[in-house]
Amino acid sequence: DAKTTQPNSMESNEEEPVHLPCNHSTISGTDYIHWYRQLPSQGPEYVIHGLTSNVNNRMASLAIAEDRKSSTLILHRATLRDAAVYYCILRPYNNNDMRFGAGTRLTVKP
């Protein structure tokens, strides 16, 4: 299974942009890059996903490197409610499961 590597923790100030990195050097051509986040005592919540091109939605932006070996989740203006564990996951196009790692714990300071 393709693996991802994320920093254990990051800090941000409120209303500043946050760039959460993820390395996936063994990604295959058919792996989608998914991001989820988990608030305390809740189930994970889908954030965004992409294949090759950068993606934007109402929650975040996903920047994917040209060689696809890394990606960055961008929160444009962090709020206190964005404090969570963020998971970067690779999903083969025909696979049912997602392998969650330890993720990055984001702390947002007021």
Contact residues toward another protein (CB under 8 A) are: 32, 34, 41-46, 49, 51, 87, 91-103
Q: Shortest approach of another protein to residue 109 CB, angstroms?
A: 22
Q: Shortest approach of another protein to residue 55 CB, angstroms?
A: 11
**Chain centroid, CA 46 distance in Å:** 10
Amino acid identity at 34: H
Task: Cite the DSSP H helix spans in 1-110.
Answer: none
- Residue number, 97 or 110, with CB nearest to another protein: 97
> What is the Cα–Cα distance from 38 to 40, expressed in whole angstroms?
6
- Residue number, 67 or 97, with CB nearest to another protein: 97
